[in-house]
Structure 1
Amino acid sequence: MDSIGITLVMFLAVIASGIFVRALPIAIPLPLVQIALGAVIAGVFNRGVSLEPDLFFLLFLPPLLFLDGWRIPKEGLLRDRFTILELALGLVIFTVVGLGFLIHWMIPAMPLPVAFALAAIVSPTDPVAVSAITARVPIPKRVMHVLEGESLLNDATGLVAFRFAVAAAVTGSFSLTSATLSFLWVAIAGLAIGAVFTWVVARAKAWISKRLGEEPGSEILLSLLIPFGAYGLAEHVHASGILAAVSAGVTMSLVELSGRSLATTRVQRTAVWNTVQFTLNGIMFVLLGEQFPAIFRGAVRVVEETGHDNPWWLLVYALAINLALAVLRFTWVWVSLRISQAVAARTGREAPRAGLRLTLAVSIAGVRGAITLAGVLTLPLVIADGTEFPARDLAIFLAATVIVVSLVVASVGLPKLLNGLPVAPDTEHYEQEQIANAAAREAASRAVEKHLHDMVAADPEGDPKVYTDVASRLMDSMSQQARGGLEGDVPPEVLKRQLAIEQAMRLVALDAARSELFRLARRRKISDDVCREAVRRIDLQEARVGRA
C-alpha cells in the first residue's frame, strides 16, 4: 500500500510541475522543476523510492525510445546517417578515452578503469532530456533531427564501453578484440531483433484483423506491448534492448504506411501514446530527483578519498567534467564538419555549413539524463577479491551532478546562442505539404465521381439529380478545403436522404485521399512526417463525419 501511495505522489508531482512552470515568473525547464520536486519528496518528506536500474530500464526506456523511433523523421535519419553515426559511435569513444584520463588525473583515488566507466556512462546523450530541451528553443530542424538520432543510437556505444570498463575494474583485465565483437553483436543483433519482432507482430495482427475485424482497444494495447517484447527478447540474447526498442519504433512507422489500421484506432492510439509519453517523461525526472539526497550523503562520506576535506570540491569536479564534455564535443563536431566540407568539395556536392554559434549550440545540447543515472547505479558493490568497489559513491554522485549541470547549461545557454540566429525556412516540408494536399484532393475527387456512378447505377428508380447535386457540392467544398453545407428549402425526408448520400461520399473521398497519402509516403514522394500530419487531419474529419 505504501508503494501505491508513493506512486500517486509521483503522479501528483508531475501534474504540479506543469503548474509551477506556468506560474513561475521566469522560464525554468520542466525537467529541472520535476527533479527539484523529486528531491523535495525524498529529502524533506522522506517518501522517495530507490531506483532499481534493471526495473527502470524495463519499465521506462522501451516505450519512450519506441515512440521516439516511431515519430522521428526517417528522411532525416537517412540523409544525415553519417553525421549521426560519427556522433553516436566516434564521439562516444573519443569522449571515453579523453574524459577517462582527465578524471583519473583530477581524482587519483579513482582507478583508471573506474574513471573510464564514469566517462562511458556520461558520454551518451539522453533522448528524453534532449527532446525536453530542444522543444523550447528555435533550433534548426535538421540540427534537431541529428541530435535526436544521435541520442537514440549512442546509448549502445556508451553502455558497452561502460560494461567493459566495469569488467576491467572488477577483474583487472581487458580485451579489445572481445569488446569489439561484443559491441558488434549488441548493436547489430539489437537492431535486427527489434525490426523482425515488430514486423512479425504486425503481420500477425494484420492477418487476424483481416479475418475477424479490428478492435481499437486491443490494437492500442498491442502497440504498447511491442516495445517491451522487443526489449526483453534482445536482452535475453545479450543484445541491446535499447536499440531493439528504437528499431521497433522505426519499423512500426514503416508498417503504418500500409494504412491498414482504422482511423478511430489511430486517433485513440495517438491520444494514449501522448499521455504515456508525458507521464513517463515526468516520472523519470521526478524519480531522478528522488535519488539526489541519498547520492549526496554517500558522496560526502567518501570525499576524503580525493584528499580534500571540503565537499564543495565535488561540485568543482562535476563542473570540470561538464566543461571537458563540452570541449570534447565541440572539438569532435568542429573537426568532423571540416572533414565533411573537404569531402563534399572534392566530390562536387554541397558542403554542410555551420557557424561558430551553431557549433557551440550543438556542443552544449548534448544533455545527459536518466539513462546515465540508471547505468551508473549498476556499478557493483565489490570487486573480484571481495573488497569494496573503489569510489563507487563518488562516481554515482558525479554522474548525477553532470546530469543536472548539463540540463541547466543547455536550458540557459541554448536560447542565448540561438537567439537571433537566422533559421532557413523549411521549404521542403512546405512543398511536400502542397504535393500531399493536391494529390489527396485529386484522389478524393476521382473516388467521389466513381462512387457517384455506382450509386446511380444501384438506384435506377431514383432521381440521378439528387446524387449529382450532392456530389457537385461535395467536390466544390473539397476544392476550397472547407466543408460545404446542404442548402435550400427541401423536405425533411429529402434532406435526410441527401445527408446520407453526402456522408457515404465523404467517407469514400476521405478513404481515397488517405490511401493516396500512404502511397506517396511509401514511394518517398513525401516524408512520413508530412504523411502522418495529413492522415491525422483526415482521420479527425472521418471521426466527425462518422458521428453525423
Structure 2
Amino acid sequence: MALLISTAVLLVVASLVIAGFAVSLLGIPLAIAFVLAAISTPTDATATETVSEGRIVPERQEKLLRMESLFNDASGIVLLEAMVLWLRGGHFQYQVALLNFLRAAVGGVIVGIAIALLMISFRRGLRNFAGSTYNAQIMLFLITPFIIYFVAEKLGVSGIIAVVCAGLMQNSESSRSRFDHPRQYHNSLVLIDLVRDILNNLIFVVLGVMIVRIVRVDLLVANNVDLRWLAAGFLIYLVTLAVRFAYGVLVKMGPCGSVIFALGGVHGAITLALVFSIAASLTDQQFQFVVLTETMLVLLSMLVPSVVFRFILQPDLSEGAI
C-alpha cells in the first residue's frame, strides 16, 4: 500500500514539478508549462497493455503499472485543477491545492466504498427476491460507475477515486460469485471490453478531427507557426522517463525493471480527455498549443515502448497469447 501511495502521489508530484520547470526553459509561461506537466501525469493501463501485447511483463512491474493507472488519474486531475486556477489567478495557492487533494482523495474513498456496499446489497437482494434478473443485473453493472462518479462529484470529492474503490470492491464480489452466475460474469467482462474500446477509440477520433482543424486553419491559413510544441512534448516525455527510471531504482526494481517501469507509463485516452476538459479555461491559442504538445507526448509514449519492448521483454508463447 505504501508503494502504491508513493507511486500515485509522490511520483506524480515529482514528475509535475520537474517537467513543469523544464518546459518553462523553452520560453513557455510557467503556468502553461505546469498545466502541460499536470496533464501528462496520468498513465493509461489499456495503452500499456497495447504496447506490450505479445510480451511478458514482469509481475511486479505489471501490477504496479496497473494500480498506478487506477489511482494517479485522480492525482493528476486535482493537480490540473490547481494549475488551471494558477493560470486564471496568476498565482499558485499551494495550501488550497493540498486541502483540495486531501478532501478529494479521502472523500472519494469513503463515497466509493459506501455506494459500492449499497449497490452490492441491492444486487444481492434483487437476485434473491426477484425472478429472472439477468437484464437488470447487466444494466446495473453498466450504469453503476456513472452513478458513483456523478454522486461523488456532486459531493465535491474525487469521482475517479470513488469509482476505482467501488470497482475494486465489486470486482472482488463478482469474482466470488462468478461460479454461481457464470453467464452473467462472462457477459459483463465482454461488455467492459466493448465499452472500453469504443470510448478509447472515440477520443482518438475526436483528437484527429481537432488536429486537422488546427493544422488547416491556424497553421496553414493564418500562418501561425509555433513549433515549440514539438520540443515541449519531446522534453516532457524525456523528463517523465528519467523521473520514472529514478523512482524505479529508488524502490529497488533493478536497472532492467526500472526501464520497464519507465517505459510502461504510457499515455493515452485519459491524457487526451484531460486536454479537452480544460478547453473552456484556455484561450484558443493556448488550447491549440496544449493539444499539439500532448499529442506529441502520447505518440512518443506509445511508439518508443512498442519498439524497445521487443528487445527487452521475452515473447509470450502461452496458448492464450498465441
TM-score by length of 1: 0.53
Q: Deviations along 1:420-441, whole A, 9 cap, x unmatched?
A: 8xx9xxxxxxxxxxxxxxxxxx
Equivalent residue number for residue 96 of structure 1: 16
Change (3 A) 1:194 1:419: same
Change (3 A) 1:304 1:123: farther
Select 2:112's aligned residue among 194, 201, 225. Answer: 194
Q: Deviations along 1:280-300, whole A, 9 cap, x unmatched?
A: 333344444333323445774
Select 1:168's aligned residue among 83, 86, 93. Answer: 86
- Matched residues in 2 for 1:401 and 1:299: separation? 18
Cα displacement (A) at 1:389? 7.3
- Matched residues in 1 for 2:102 and 2:87: separation? 22
1:208 aligns with 2:126: yes
Equivalent residue number for residue 414 of structure 1: 309
Higher relative contact order (CA 8 A, sep 6+): 2
- Matched residues in 1 for 2:232 and 2:206: separation? 24
Q: Which amino acid aligns with 2:105?
A: A
SS at match of 2:251: helix
- Of structures 1 and 2, the larger Rg is shown by 1
Equivalent residue number for residue 323 of structure 1: 238
The answer for unaligned runs of 5 or more in structure 2 is 317-322
Change (3 A) 1:389 1:278: closer
- Matched residues in 2 for 1:415 and 1:241: separation? 37
- Matched residues in 1 for 2:280 and 2:204: separation? 25
Cα displacement (A) at 1:146? 0.6
1:364 aligns with 2:263: yes
CA contact (8 A) 1:114 1:390 kept: no
Change (3 A) 1:86 1:296: farther
- Matched residues in 1 for 2:308 and 2:164: separation? 29
1:275 aligns with 2:194: yes
SS at match of 2:43: coil
Select 2:64's aligned residue among 146, 153, 176. Answer: 146
Matches within 5 A, 1:457-476: none
Cα displacement (A) at 1:356? 1.5
Q: Which amino acid aligns with 2:16?
A: V
CA contact (8 A) 1:357 1:418 kept: no
- Matched residues in 1 for 2:49 and 2:183: separation? 28
Q: Which amino acid aligns with 1:415?
A: R
Change (3 A) 1:138 1:168: same
The answer for unaligned runs of 5 or more in structure 1 is 1-80, 338-353, 424-548
1:241 aligns with 2:159: yes
Matches within 5 A, 1:506-545: none
Q: Deviations along 1:498-519, whole A, 9 cap, x unmatched?
A: xxxxxxxxxxxxxxxxxxxxxx
- Matched residues in 2 for 1:195 and 1:135: separation? 33
CA contact (8 A) 1:373 1:400 kept: yes
Aligned alpha-carbon RMSD (Å)? 2.7
CA contact (8 A) 1:120 1:161 kept: yes
Select 1:392's aligned residue among 262, 287, 292. Answer: 287
1:293 aligns with 2:212: yes
Q: Which amino acid aligns with 1:409?
A: V
- Matched residues in 1 for 2:35 and 2:134: separation? 45
- Matched residues in 2 for 1:381 and 1:275: separation? 30
TM-score by length of 2: 0.87
CA contact (8 A) 1:130 1:366 kept: yes
Change (3 A) 1:389 1:332: farther
Cα displacement (A) at 1:325? 1.6
CA contact (8 A) 1:130 1:151 kept: no
SS at match of 1:391: helix
Select 2:254's aligned residue among 355, 362, 384. Answer: 355
- Matched residues in 2 for 1:245 and 1:232: separation? 10
CA contact (8 A) 2:244 2:258 kept: no
What is the identity percentage for the equivalent residue pairs of Structure 1 and Structure 2?
27
